[in-house]
Each structure stands twice: as structure tokens, then as C-alpha cells.
Amino acid sequence: MIDVEDLVALVRNYNPRTNADLIRKAYAYGMAMHEGQFRKSGEPYFTHPVAVAAILTEQRLDDATIITALLHDTIEDTRSTYTDIVGIFGDEVAELVDGVTKLTNLQLSSTESQQAENFRKLFMAMSKDLRVILVKLADRLHNMRTIKSMKQEKQAQKARETMEIYAPLAGRMGMQWMREELEDLAFKVLNPEARNSIIRRFLTLQRESGDVVHKITADIRTELDKVEIDATVYGRAKKPYSIWRKMQEKDLAFSRLSDIYGFRVICGSVADCYRILGVIHQRWRAVPGRFKDYISQPKNNGYRSIHTTVSGRDGKRVEVQIRTREMHEVAEAGVAAHWAYREGVRTKNPFAVDPGKWIASLTERFDEGDHDEFLEHVKLEMYSDQVFCFTPKGDVIQLPRGATPLDFAYAIHTRIGNGTVSAKVDGIRVPLWTRLKNGQSIEIITAEGQRPQSSWIDIVTTGRAKAAIRKSLRDEDRGRFIKLGQELARAAFEHVGKKSTEKALRTAAKMLGLNDAEDLLARLGSAELTARRVVETLYPELARAELPEVDAARPVIGLADDQAFRRAPCCQPLPGERIVGITYRGRGIVAHAIDCPALAEFEEQTDRWVDLSWHAGRHAAVHTVTFDVTIANDAGVLGRICTLIGEQKANISDLTFTDRKPDFYRLLIDVDLRDVEHLHMVMTALEAETDVAQVSRHRDLTRKP
């Protein structure tokens, strides 16, 4: 583990004016708080926060960020509180530590609807202070570097999350080195055979052709010396995952893969960048279609560089990136360059992007009302590379790679997108599904009365275009859907002896989180919502009254007459969930949820498994489920939560506080429920309560049957 003086020295290398005493205090405080805690590897836990802080020093970040790294797990994993951090280290550090703690609790690889909401929370945290995500990325990087000590299934889960979320996010922030390392570490877990195969082929190639990187680097330096350009040249073989992805995308064998080597030329001025480009193109043949000028058209995360691919020594294709030293700093640190220090002062890098403006550009078109569309937007914005196209007047439009003329039209204005009938690319009429390329000039041809067609959804790539097309299609069909919805609602309400009055529909719409009764009817007519769901929302008991009652003593099918039955306390399965029975000598049969991790220990004892299923019908509210709830520490909140549960016809059988903070309480609530639908009703009611910060179903695997 790096000791405190070595860490202070790392910070002093770029910030001589650092508050060394405060860093020492944070180091001592973090070590004391984590005393007695150990990582899976057996190392003291505090080695992890120190390693995260060291990673952030490589990006020359400010004292507050380094101190946050040292303390980032204290609120979550120790007796330390937010108030303690404020008192010792101030509001700025406390806010950052609290932000990292909240990010740690987000399950970004969860179900689609949860993922959408958690992505929204992720970007809200980033918009408050981007340093929160910088600490989180460094935290994930160190965890991936030390992942071997985790269980195999945990390794796979963390690696998938890293590959799908954290690596693309690092890339989107301009931190390409971190993206590449995160991808390669995840690749090592998810497909070790493929990675080892590529490394072996590299070694074979190196034996056959010698050190190609060293030779080509020397060739470039020789050409630059001839014209007396002062520049630094770096060369490297690309990461195994980068090569693997290219092999998959292009469906090529390793032997046919080109440009597996990358080179960077770093110089003093923009003028030198273009001179170097000329020197390289004079010496080696440029590969058509592989030239990108991100100096004249920078990426919106501040990245600037010239990229070109040439046929180098022995005909091998190599990619060359040319940039100034200031551009290189931004290319290495990305948006983090905004906080970089040199000689004790914030670096005045003209290419560093203001994080606030960057977040605004990333999120400006996210539809706050629709989780699915938000998730679609954020993934497109995070994961896509950019192409730059021109309007007939010469204005530049940035689009994700794979975008079409329709995306271009909607990027200009929704009205133009909706009215598009055809398009010209570089003066030639093309189909609307044509994929656009860098530098093309696009002309959109519109017509009065033209409306979007449903097939356009599959043509466009951008979330903005998809959302606009869906809205137009919904508006066009809205009148027809409302009429159909009225008939469906009338029939469903009459079935339970009620009338679908305007007030009843308004109330149901409010309970379902919809705008108004008209919105509810439109969703009914378009099959986005079922009439049964509307009736159940208003009259849950009436909707269930038609079902036969189930004997509470024998609620499952599959038991012999003499067999006793109990629900497993670890997973607490409910009617409506798939279950399996496990026989216990002298204790009857215990029903587990089909996805209960406790079933793993019985995989080799198939003779103990019993096929069970719940009886269809109305179950009594006797099945206890534990909720893990975090609520605001405020007068009357707990009372309102208990009342809310009671309003859902659910009984609280036990309540235990597990954590008390100045601003939040965390508690476990045992609630007696009928079935999984009843569970969802209670959870929905709790999630809708503004004073509930978080609610989840608690499952305790330490509780044995």
C-alpha cells in the first residue's frame, strides 16, 4: 500500500501548493474508519481507497477529489456519517463523498425500467459535480485490476457492467486510456480464451517480423528530422479487446486484420500538426476513407487530433494520430482536464471542456417523461462515435455514426424531420435509410402535409428522431385510440358493477402516474395499458372477488397429504412467483423462489427437489415479505409510510431500524401480503412517496429454513 508521504509526493509533483496536512488527515481518518475491514484478497480494505487516490493523481486532479477518493467508502461501509465528513473536511468534500456513495448503490445493470431510472440518477449526480464520476471510474478501474479475488459469478457480473456501462462512459468523457484498460480487463474475465489467443498471435507475429513498433517509430522520427519538426513519437500495439472487436465487426481473421498498431505524434503547434500530416502522406500511401480531422471539427468532449491510416513498412497498415501537447493532455484526461493542476494552479488548457456545458450537451434532448426513451437516448449518446455533416449553408451537424438523412433532418428541427420526403447527399438523391459519412453535405426536401411513417422508427438512429416520430404517430392515432379506450373502459367497469365516470378515470390516471383521463384512454386504446389494470387500480378487492379463495394452510400444488409446507425465510417467495420445494428431514418441505441463490447448495441433491406451484385464486394476506426502506429523517414521515402500507390493505408485522443518519433512516419492514401483485402495489405506493429515498425487497441469505 502506498504510504501517506508517497501519496502527498505524487500530488506535489503537479501541485506544489497542495494542502498536504488535509490529505494526511484524510488518509489517517480513512485508515481509522476502515480498521479491521479486509478485501476479498485478504488485504486491509484501506489499500483500495489509497489505490483509487493514486489513480486520480495520474490525472493531476485537485485536493478535494484526492481526499474524496480516500474517503469514498466511509459513509457506506463504516460508522462515519455525512455530518462527520462536513465537520472535519468541509461541505465540498462531504458532497463529493455522498455523491460517490449514492452512485455505489445504483444497480446500472438491472432491469430496463430500473436501469433507465438509475441512469437518470447517474447523470443527475454527474451534473452536480463531474468529479463524482471521476472517483467512481477510478474506483471501478482498481476493482477490475484486483477482480481475481472475487467469486467467479461476481467477476462475470462486474465485468459485464464494466463493458456495457463504465468503459463506454469513460470513452464518452474522453478518457480513452481508461476505456481501453477497462474493456481489456473485462475482456480478460468474459472471454479469456479469445484474449489469450490474440496475445499468442501477437507474440508469433513479433517473432516473425521483429519489433515493428520500434521500426515504424524510428521511420517517422527520421522523416520529421529531415524537415526539422520538433515532435515526440510514440508507438504501441493495440489492446487485445480492441483487436477482437475489430475482428468481430469486420468478420476477419487475425492474419487479415490491418492497422493493429497505433502511433502518436505530439508537437508544439496546430500548424506543425498539418505539416506532419503532409510529411507522413508524402512518405507513405494514405488509406482512402480513413482520414479524420478532429482539430477543425473537435468532438464535444474536447477531443482534438488528426487521424490518418497509412500503408507503412512492409505494407502493414498503421494508424497515426497527430496532436499538440495541449490537445494530448485533453485526449488523456478528457473532461477531467478541466480540474487538472500544474505548478499549484488550475491548468488553463484552451481545449478543456467546461463540464457543465458538456453535461448539458449530453442531456439537453433527453425526454424527462419516458424512461425507455431516456435510456435509448443515453446509450446512443454514450456509446456512439460521431460523424460531422454539413447543411447547404455550411453549418455543421454532429450525429452518431450510422445516422441517416432522417436523423439529420430531425437534428435541424422536428418540423423539418416530420415533413421530410427525400434527401440529397453531395447533390445526389439517396434513399432515406442511407448511412451518412464524415464531411458529406446533406439537403433535406420537405413537402406540406407529409407525416412520419411507422417504418421510419427502424430507419433512424438518434434518440431525438425516434422520440419525435413516436410522438407524431401517437398524436395522429390519439383520437382513434381514445374512442376505443372509452369502450374498453366502459365494458371493464360494468363487469365489476361500476361506471367509468370522468372522475373515476381521472383518479385512475393519477394513481397510474398518467397526465389525465384522456391520456389513460389513449393508452388503453393503443394496448399500452389493460382495462383490467385500470379496474384493479381503483377497485383491487372487486377485481379479485371473482377468483376463488385459496386455503391458507395448503396454498401450493404438489404436496402429498402428509407433507408440511413452509416458505423459505431467505427468499420469501410469494404466490405468483415460480417456486421449487426442497425436502428437509423432520421439517417437511420448504419452498424457495426459483432464482434463490440458496438453491445452489442442492444442485447435486436432485432427490430432495419437489415440483411445486401456487394455487390459482385469492390468497390470504399472510405471506410475510421484508422491505428495505430508506426514508427522510423528518417529523411524521414514518407515520405516513405506515399509513401508506395500510391503505394498500397490507399489515406491518415487524419493523427494525438498521441505520440512523442525520438526514435519513434505513429500516427493515415486515409486511404481510397476498401475492406478487400485492407486493408490486405496496412497492409502487412507497416509491411514489417523496420522502422515500429508496425501497427494495430485502432477501437475507443468512436465514436458513
Q: Judge whether residue 669 has pLDDT over 90.
A: yes
For residue 369, the model assigns a pLDDT of: 46
CA angle 354, 356, 360 (to 5 degrees): 115
**Least confident piece of the model among 135-144, 200-209, 411-420, 515-524:** 200-209
Comparing 690 with 597, the larger pLDDT belongs to: 597
Strands 579-584, 556-557: pairing is unpaired
Most confidently modeled of 114-128, 153-167, 383-397? 153-167
Active-site option among 76, 161, 184, 577: 76
What's the CA gap between 457 and 435, in Å, rounded?
15
Active-site option among 43, 58, 77, 670: 77
- For the segment 653-666, the average pLDDT, to the nearest whole number, is 88
Residue 591, SS3 per DSSP: strand
- For the segment 300-312, the average pLDDT, to the nearest whole number, is 84
Strands 261-267, 317-324: pairing is parallel
C-alpha cell at 258: 490491418
For residue 118, the model assigns a pLDDT of: 62
For residue 272, the model assigns a pLDDT of: 94
What's the CA gap between 582 and 602, in Å, rounded?
8
pLDDT tens figures, 103-127 = 776 665 544 445 555 666 676 667 6
Q: Judge whether residue 252 has pLDDT over 80.
A: no
pTM for this entry = 0.56
- For the segment 470-487, the average pLDDT, to the nearest whole number, is 80
Q: Judge whether residue 362 has pLDDT over 70.
A: no
pLDDT tens figures, 507-542 = 888 888 888 888 888 888 876 777 878 887 887 766
Average model confidence (pLDDT) across the chain: 83
What's the CA gap between 682 and 446, in Å, rounded?
50
Q: Judge whether residue 382 has pLDDT over 60.
A: no
- Which 8-state DSSP code applies to residue 629? E
- Which 8-state DSSP code applies to residue 78? S
Tell me, yes or no, if 77 is annotated catalytic: yes
What's the CA gap between 190 and 387, in Å, rounded?
31
pLDDT tens figures, 98-107 = 888 877 766 6
DSSP secondary structure letters along 535-548: HHHH-HHHHHHTSP
Q: Could you give all domains of the chain from N- to C-terminal order, each with its CATH number?
A: 4-189 (1.10.3210.10), 193-346 (3.30.460.10), 384-461 (3.10.20.30), 470-545 (no CATH), 552-705 (3.30.70.260)
- For the segment 608-633, the average pLDDT, to the nearest whole number, is 88
DSSP secondary structure letters along 84-120: HHHHHH-HHHHHHHHHHHHHHT--TTS-HHHHHHHHH
Q: Judge whether residue 367 has pLDDT over 50.
A: no
What's the CA gap between 685 and 677, in Å, rounded?
12
Tell me, yes or no, if 76 is annotated catalytic: yes
pLDDT more than 70, % of the chain:
87
Q: Judge whether residue 443 has pLDDT over 70.
A: yes
For residue 31, the model assigns a pLDDT of: 94
Beta strands in 332-488 (DSSP E): 341-342, 345-346, 386-390, 396-400, 420-425, 428-430, 442-446
Sign of CA dihedral 429, 430, 432, 436: negative
Most confidently modeled of 176-185, 477-486, 548-557, 672-681? 176-185
Q: Judge whether residue 545 has pLDDT over 80.
A: no
Contacts of 127 (CB under 8 A, 6+ apart): 356, 359, 363
